Chains A and B, each alone.
Chain A
Amino acid sequence: GNSVTQMEGPVTLSEEAFLTINCTYTATGYPSLFWYVQYPGEGLQLLLKATKADDKGSNKGFEATYRKETTSFHLEKGSVQVSDSAVYFCALRKDSNYQLIWGAGTKLIIKP
């Protein structure tokens, strides 16, 4: 079946550090891939997406590249800020089924 696996958290970094949050998926065909972010006390917000292999999604300094050969969609940011502290979710959607399938989430803590 379709599934998403994320690295376990919490991930704790100092401000201005480089961030990578790993995400791998299992799916047949060509799913669309998403990163959502959930700030404390808020709802889920779409961070970025990619709909086909080798696409790069980017937003707010975050980037993720759709790698079909490694079935991965790792989230990266060159220099994190305290305000990036949140829970990050990787998700996929199959073309034939509109539901989102989610990873368990990775809590990111940025210390000043």
Chain B
Amino acid sequence: DAGVTQSPTHLIKTRGQQVTLRCSPISGHKSVSWYQQVLGQGPQFIFQYYEKEERGRGNFPDRFSARQFPNYSSELNVNALLLGDSALYLCASSLGGGESTQYFGPGTRLTVL
């Protein structure tokens, strides 16, 4: 079975631009979470969606938004990019229950110049 897939793999943008990152969960998984991993640090939680509803949101500005589609795939949007948004963006999928383990995709490396 395919794991969590993310696209694109790498992305270079300039300050002020907007970016959309995509994630396809493992088949059968209904929950998707997004994390930001700055180089040398642990991931920071951004959003979690379950059954197309936002279940949780981390301490990120309103420039960050996300949505989940009926097929459970998800998009993360970041507006008005800042240099500090440069990071690895990770998507994780899980079945959605309280004890569901999260499985991670390879990430999208975003560089903001």
* A99 & B106 in contact (Cβ 8 Å cutoff): no
Complex CA–CA separation, A81 to B66 (angstroms): 40
Partner of A99 from the list B58, B99, B103, B107 (CB cut-off 8 Å) is B58
User: Residue B61 at the A interface, CB < 8 A?
Assistant: no
Residues of A within 8 A of B100 (CB): 98
Chain B count of residues within 8 A CB distance of the other chain: 28
- A45-B104 contact given A32-B99, A99-B33, CB 8 Å threshold: yes
- A44-B41 contact given A97-B56, A98-B31, A98-B55, CB 8 Å threshold: no
* A102 & B106 in contact (Cβ 8 Å cutoff): no
* B101 & A99 in contact (Cβ 8 Å cutoff): no
Contact with B along A65-109 (1 / 0, CB 8 A): 000000000000000000000000101000101111111110000
Looking at B14-22, B42-50, B77-85, the stretch in contact with chain A turns out to be B42-50
* A98 & B104 in contact (Cβ 8 Å cutoff): no
Residues of B within 8 A of A104 (CB): 40-42
User: Residue A22 at the B interface, CB < 8 A?
Assistant: no
Partner of B48 from the list A36, A98, A103 (CB cut-off 8 Å) is A98
Residues of A within 8 A of B107 (CB): 43
Partner of B104 from the list A4, A43, A49, A99 (CB cut-off 8 Å) is A43
Complex CA–CA separation, A53 to B48 (angstroms): 26
* B98 & A98 in contact (Cβ 8 Å cutoff): yes
User: Residue A51 at the B interface, CB < 8 A?
Assistant: yes
User: Residue B7 at the A interface, CB < 8 A?
Assistant: no
User: Residue B25 at the A interface, CB < 8 A?
Assistant: no
Residues of B within 8 A of A91 (CB): 42
User: Residue B90 at the A interface, CB < 8 A?
Assistant: yes
Complex CA–CA separation, A109 to B98 (angstroms): 35
Complex CA–CA separation, A36 to B100 (angstroms): 15
Q: Which residue of B lies closest to A6 (CB)?
A: B42
B interface, CB within 8 angstroms of A: 4, 31, 33, 35, 40-45, 48, 50, 55-56, 58, 90, 92, 94, 98-107
The 10 closest A-B pairs by CB, nearest first: A102-B42, A44-B104, A99-B45, A43-B106, A43-B104, A104-B42, A102-B43, A99-B56, A105-B42, A103-B42
